[in-house]
Structure 1
């Protein structure tokens, strides 16, 4: 199968140019100012449109059990939503039972992911420490191509590890070239603040925000970075939501720590006022860390622009409002934590970033595609160049759309960005050379996604380069 994308404006992390792209089978085989059409099976006319590498969302929670329920999107609905939204690869988190072996957990989640319509990888969550965990890390890396794990500093009794356990796990991971994702909030103090609020009869969603203050995110972020420094291990702080936590990343980078940060669209465009809505509407916006005061957004956008924040991930952890979010109607601590975002992260970042003049087109590609590929060992993804997988998004910047739950693929009964008008419309999405989205409709085959066996060598080389790029910036004010 030969496909030619004609007359598009190709945008990569380093360049912008008009060109034709030849795709043969699953790969890009030629990029030229003019490619003849005679032998092509399919022609896509991209005149006046941007041609981006497919988005890579490295922070998703599909089919994820949490708080006596499970996220509303499985690997079918979730990856369809991703594809329609310009995401052509995801890395989902596993969810092991306490004390369970990492190996059968990994195999279970690989099997779950076979329903995916796009390519998928897995981060291995580790929620306990044992000698067996350390013994299984090399097997995860070598046999299953897992180049990343995740540790939690919150959710005691379910996912949280202590500082010593974190140090031992990170040290072993670092020796293996595995990067550690960290959820950085001070779980012990947050649990006490939640208990105090409930004892005082404070049950509304806004108290979710008040009991998880920025100082507790910043404290845990600084502590995690110090542990990574002591362990001589690379660290990736997920979902940075506030300026105080970002300062800790800046300080660590200045010390030479292999420290990387991610933020999410909800922290870039939503704020704590969304939690303070009447009739439990605020329950829709409960996530952790919580939405912050609006002024933090400028610091986060600046972090993306300067390279202090390397990646934007959706933290797609969707729960339906009716029947799931409403579990916590009388007690905010029982509201399942998480927002839907996989379908709209591409559009949100483009509109509020590029269109609003906060980041360049090249920076947009860097944070939504190229950096995720480099950091997490996706050697065939993240760029438009010869030999790469033909994961491509054709995007019309002259059209606009309104985000609404009425026409989304996400299996939720609301949209966190409801009613927002965003500039730019995705017209075609290709995954390994196959057109799977046309004009907002998924047209691909089911269960076509491939499991991504990731490279740790690429991880280490790319981390060194990214570290250099973001190391000596001034602190974000």
Structure 2
């Protein structure tokens, strides 16, 4: 259990009360939500300021037909959801506290849920320029582009690159490591590479879909086929995938995620007349290890040891659970997979284990199949059979401040000593 400072609990209470007061007064489908939210980010919490210890308030508005339309500071649309990132505020906590307020609309009016997520480990960012995306969407609608291809066209790589650059510079300003999730484009990759070359601590995480796929399927004439590839940032044109693979093999990008977020074809069909309403997300958690081995090891781009690093060891180190995870050592959890490099696999929606009728890797074949999975010393997967019982999982706490934070305080001290300020000055008075 994380223990929060009293100021943080007070902040949560104030925001919750404030939003409830305003939301309870809003009629169904009201457009006054923007006005109701603005005072939150304009409040003055400057008395709480401590450099580099940031808190951000995030308001997440679920958007349905005839629902809410809001714009404030930065936002992006994901899974039919608007995320509104309010002005960062600073508190006396060595952690990020995200105040997430989920507001949705029902037939009975407005409902609200206040969630508090304490991220003790890292500063992470989904990098897209929300204002730019909104403008891109407006342009597509004006051109009559309403299908899934409009999603990619409204969120070009340059918006991902711009947002990545901005996040990197803000992280440098407050002297904190930065974790950039689902890096999808050359534009974002180049910003990360430049930052790392200069010595800044930036972690870049590509995802399987960005490494393996290209955007061509978004132009498929069948809506359901095209819609299943909608995710944010979008899957890019051919060429971006090769660049991401090269960056992963050379160490510019450090690990591979999935951004696993699946929807069935009926859910994707919510946006059949408007790409902005297509729930964002693709599968990948079940396919990641097989596809990365086939794509990166079988082609000679990385070694088997590199495969372990980008899928396991680096993840455990960055998330500060190494060597409990990410290693085969005395005292580690004995989480092991046995991968047969000579065994073949084929991916399809009929045989996968996600409860969805679509798979963005449909029909893909390759070499390198996991045949046995061992969790904490027990065989949990063998011969295509899952051998676990409900309740056998264990929560793994992630302590704060991984190796990425080593030396941060020394860097701060060096910065302060270089300021040569404040300057002591003699104030002369003029006698009348």
TM-score, normalised to structure 2, is: 0.70
Q: CA deviation at 1:160?
A: 3.0
Q: Tell me the equivalent position of 1:285.
A: 229
Distance in 1, matches of 2:395 and 2:44, equals 28
- Distance in 2 between residues matched to 1:268 and 1:425, nearest whole Å: 18
Q: 1:349 to 1:463 in 2, by over 3 A?
A: farther
1:445 equivalenced with 2:389 (yes/no): yes
2:95 to 134, 148, 173: 173
Show the 5 A alignment for 1:111-260.
Answer: 154-155=75-76, 158-162=82-86, 164-165=87-88, 168=90, 173=95, 178-260=121-203
CA distance in 2, matches of 1:276, 1:344: 24
- Structure 1: which 5+ runs fail to align? 1-95, 102-127, 136-148, 465-477
Inter-partner Cα distance in structure 2 for 1:257 and 1:342:
30
CA distance in 1 between counterparts of 2:129 and 2:226 reads 23
Q: 380-389 or 252-261, which moves further after superposition?
A: 252-261
Q: Are residue 313 (structure 1) and residue 257 (structure 2) matched?
A: yes
RMSD: 3.3
Aligned equivalents of 1:432, 1:223: Cα separation in 2: 41
How far the C-alpha of 1:185 sits from its partner, in A, is: 0.2
Q: Which has the larger radius of gyration?
A: 2
Q: Which residue of 2 aligns with 1:326?
A: 269
Equivalent residue of 1:324, what SS? helix
Q: Is the 8 A contact 1:264 1:313 kept in 2?
A: yes
CA contact (8 A) 1:154 1:183 kept: no
- Other structure's SS at 2:370 match: strand
Query: What do residues 420-473 of structure 1 show as CA deviations (whole Å, max 9, x unaligned)?
Result: 112022111011111111122211112321111112244446899xxxxxxxxx
Deviation at 1:208, TM superposition (A): 0.5
Measure the CA separation in 2 of the matches of 1:382 and 1:172.
26
Q: Which has the higher contact order (CA 8 A, sep 6+)?
A: 1
Residue in structure 1 matched with residue 422 of structure 2 by the alignment: none
Equivalent in the alignment of 2:425: none
Q: Deviations over 1:391-416 (max 9, x none)?
A: 00011111101111111111110111
Alpha-carbon deviation of 1:359?
A: 1.4
Question: Is 1:393 the counterpart of 2:317 in the alignment?
Answer: no
Match of 1:404 among 325, 345, 348: 348
Cα 1:436/1:337, change in 2 over 3 Å:
same
TM superposition shift of 1:150 = 9.7
Deviation at 1:344, TM superposition (A): 0.3
The structure 1 residue matched to 2:319, chosen from 376, 379, 395, is 376
CA deviations over 1:293-326 (Å, ceiling 9, x no partner):
11111211111111111111000011111x2001
Provide, for residues 339-381 of structure 1, a one-character-per-residue CA deviation record: whole Å limited to 9, x for no partner: 0111101111011110121211111111110011000111310
Q: Is 151-160 or 361-370 further displaced after alignment?
A: 151-160
Q: Is the 8 A contact 2:150 2:275 kept in 1?
A: yes
> 1:91-112 CA deviation, whole Å, 9 max, x = no partner?
xxxxx9x9559xxxxxxxxxxx
| Equivalent residue for 2:366, pick from 413, 418, 422 | 422
Aligned with 1:218: secondary structure?
helix
Tell me, which stretches of 5 or more residues in structure 2 are unaligned?
A: 1-11, 18-39, 49-56, 61-73, 98-118, 409-432
Q: Aligned equivalents of 1:450 and 1:318: distance in 2?
A: 24
Tell me, yes or no, if the aligned pair for 2:58 and 2:84 is still in contact at 8 Å.
Answer: no
Q: Write the distance in 2 (CA, Å) between the matches of 1:131 and 1:383.
A: 46
CA distance in 2 between counterparts of 1:423 and 1:241 reads: 25
- Secondary structure at the aligned position of 1:405 is classed as coil
Asked whether the equivalents of residues 123 and 179 of structure 2 are also in contact (C-alpha less than 8 Å), the reply is yes
CA contact (8 A) 2:121 2:399 kept: no
> Hey, what's the Cα distance between the residues in 2 that align with 1:369 and 1:207?
36
Task: Determine if contact 1:354/1:364 at 8 Å carries over to the other structure.
Answer: yes
Q: Secondary structure at the match of 1:437?
A: strand
TM-score w.r.t. the length of structure 1 is 0.63
- Alpha carbons of structure 1 residues 151 and 259: separation in structure 2 relative to 1, 3 Å: farther
Q: Are 1:296 and 2:240 counterparts?
A: yes
